[in-house]
Amino acid sequence: MATGTNRKEAMALTAAIGVLGLVFGVWAFSAFTSLFAQLGWSPGEVLRQYMVATGALAEHETLVDYYTHIKGAEYIIAVAFLGLYPVYYKFVNRTGARMKA
């Protein structure tokens, strides 16, 4: 059973997290609004700028440069799969209460 002090602390923590989320949300909204305004309100140009900044869209001089870029992406996908597969396996094979059909 929670006491009054614990409940007040929980409410204060919830309020602090809410205020922090609100501040971050206002910052993100203003950043996206200014980005759209700078690029002439074009979603396609904003997407292109994002892809260039993250390295998803780049000009490659040779086929070897392109293959090296693709190989790096494949390695990231493989590591993510190997890291998440045990979690997925435990989720699928968990034991729980049996339900009648």
8 A C-beta contact, residue 20 and residue 26: no
Round the CA-based radius of gyration of the chain to a whole number and report it: 24
pLDDT in tens, 12-24: 999 999 999 999 9
User: What is the pTM (predicted TM-score) of this model?
Assistant: 0.50
Q: Are 39 and 45 spatial neighbours (Cβ–Cβ below 8 Å)?
A: yes
pLDDT digits (tens, 9 = 90+) for 30-69: 999 999 999 899 999 999 988 888 877 888 889 898 888 8
The C-alpha atoms of residue 60 and residue 100 are separated, in whole angstroms, by 59
